[in-house]
């Protein structure tokens, strides 16, 4: 049996659906019936259906129902629709990957401290963990050398409310650094190390656009040897600034360093127990 179209309007006279356009603020449209032209101020949901408020160039406001084919946009018939609600933005994260706390103030400094071996180490820790450390009230200081560590621990007098965490370069079994670390480690002192000759190596080569950290022959100054091998000027201060500026978050650092720093922060901030 033949099926008949209940709409007897000839196809060539039927109106095509108008494109739907979100009524975003400041969108300029013209209402087709009145010719009122203005910018979208707001959309509202009413008992009679959604409405849009327009403001003309003289500051006059008028409210119109958002009916199909009810507006002209640049001379083209359109149907205004309410804009979609913005998707909730992901929480901002600090450079260390922690969720940022908007408006958080720095905590009064704890008695506990973290010591790192050298100014470059301190600057790198500040760059990645600075926000976290300020919220936790943890101060980072640096050693001039690991030989000074026993005297620093004695002067610090660590205890349950004043824990001491220490990060040492190139802490490998049997080294001088490992012997000193064993000497000072205790219930309230935690000494951890990374396997790198210098903190420079803890930055991923890919973040610096180099294939790998070069191997420097034993007996040569390591930092200057790196500069020579990479074709950089033998200015270690400038080289460090180049390296540091390539670090934007924890993703630019090797996991061997990330784990040690996180463990030290947890140690000095752990509640007394």
Tell me, what CATH number does 150's domain have?
Answer: 3.40.50
Residue 260 has phi, psi (to 5 degrees) of: -70, -45
CA distances from 52 to 23, 48, 62, 75, 83 (A): 8, 12, 8, 19, 11
The answer to whether residue 94 is domain-embedded is: no
Residue 255 and residue 163 in one domain: yes
Last residue of a domain, one of 80, 101, 126: 80
Give pLDDT, residue 108: 64
Last residue of a domain, one of 31, 59, 80: 80
The answer to whether residue 9 is domain-embedded is: no
Residue 189 and residue 257 in one domain: yes
The answer to whether residue 161 is domain-embedded is: yes
Local confidence pLDDT in tens for the 273 residues of the chain = 445 455 555 554 556 678 999 999 989 999 999 999 999 999 988 888 899 999 888 888 999 999 999 999 988 999 999 988 755 556 677 777 776 666 666 566 678 899 998 899 999 999 999 988 988 888 999 888 888 899 999 999 999 989 999 998 888 888 888 898 899 999 999 999 888 989 999 999 999 999 999 999 988 999 999 999 999 999 999 999 999 999 999 999 999 999 999 999 999 998 876
In angstroms, rounded to a whole number, what is the distance separating the alpha carbons of residues 162 and 176? 26
The answer to whether residue 47 is domain-embedded is: yes
Residue 29 and residue 74 in one domain: yes
Contact (Cβ atoms closer than 8 angstroms) between residue 39 and residue 59: no
The answer to whether residue 39 is domain-embedded is: yes
Q: Compute the residue count for the chain.
A: 273
In angstroms, rounded to a whole number, what is the distance separating the alpha carbons of residues 39 and 28? 4
Residue 40 and residue 147 in one domain: no
The answer to whether residue 192 is domain-embedded is: yes
The answer to whether residue 222 is domain-embedded is: no
CATH number at residue 27: 2.30.30
Residue 173 and residue 262 in one domain: yes
Query: Which residues share a beta bridge with 22?
Result: 81
pLDDT digits (tens, 9 = 90+) for 102-157: 666 656 667 889 999 889 999 999 999 998 898 888 899 988 888 889 999 999 99
Residue 75 and residue 190 in one domain: no
In angstroms, rounded to a whole number, what is the distance separating the alpha carbons of residues 83 and 168? 56
Give pLDDT, residue 104: 60
In the block, tokens 């934007």 appear at 248
SS3 string of the chain? CCCCCCCCCCHHHCCCCCCEEECCCCCEEEECCCCCEEEEEEEEEECCEEEEEEECCCCCEEEEECCCCCEEECCEEEEEECCCCCCCCCCCECCCCCECCCCCCCCCCCCCEEEEECHHHHHHHHHHHHHHHHHHCCEEEEECCHHHHHHHHHHHCCECCECEEEEECCCCCCCHHHHHHHHHCECCEEEEECCCCCHHHHECHHHHCCCCCCCCCCCCCHHHHHHHHHCCCCCHHHHHHHHHHCCCCHHHECHHHHHHHHHHHHHHHCCCC
Domain count, the chain: 2
Residue 75 and residue 175 in one domain: no
User: Shortest CA distance to 95 belongs to which of 245, 266, 252?
Assistant: 252
Contact (Cβ atoms closer than 8 angstroms) between residue 155 and residue 165: no
Contact (Cβ atoms closer than 8 angstroms) between residue 36 and residue 61: no
Q: Which domain holds residue 165?
A: 113-201+247-269
Task: Please state, rounded to an integer, the average pLDDT across all residues of the chain.
Answer: 86
């Amino acid at each position: 049996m033949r099926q008949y179209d209940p709409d007897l309007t000839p196809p060539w006279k039927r109106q095509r659906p108008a494109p739907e356009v979100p009524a975003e603020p400041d969108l300029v449209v013209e209402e087709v019936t009145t010719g009122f032209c203005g910018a979208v101020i707001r959309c509202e949901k009413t008992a009679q259906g959604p409405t849009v408020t327009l403001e003309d160039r003289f500051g006059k406001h008028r409210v119109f129902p958002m009916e199909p084919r009810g507006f002209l946009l640049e001379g083209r018939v359109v149907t205004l629709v309410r804009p979609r609600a913005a998707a909730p933005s992901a929480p901002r994260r600090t450079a260390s990957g922690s969720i940022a706390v908007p408006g958080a103030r720095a905590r009064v400094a704890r008695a506990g401290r973290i010591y790192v071996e050298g100014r470059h180490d301190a600057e790198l820790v500040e760059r990645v963990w600075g926000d976290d450390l300020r919220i936790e009230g943890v101060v980072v200081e640096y050693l001039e050398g690991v030989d000074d560590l026993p005297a620093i621990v004695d002067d610090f007098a660590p205890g349950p409310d004043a824990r001491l965490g220490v990060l040492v370069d190139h802490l490998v079994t049997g080294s001088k650094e490992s012997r000193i670390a064993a000497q000072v480690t205790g219930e309230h002192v935690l000494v951890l190390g990374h396997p790198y000759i210098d903190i420079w190596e803890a930055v991923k080569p890919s973040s610096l656009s180099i294939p790998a950290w070069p191997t420097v022959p034993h007996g040569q100054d390591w930092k200057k040897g790196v500069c020579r091998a990479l074709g950089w000027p033998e200015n270690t201060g400038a080289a460090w600034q180049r390296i540091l500026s390539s670090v934007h978050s924890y993703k630019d650092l090797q996991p061997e360093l990330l784990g040690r720093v996180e463990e030290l922060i947890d140690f000095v901030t752990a509640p007394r127990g």
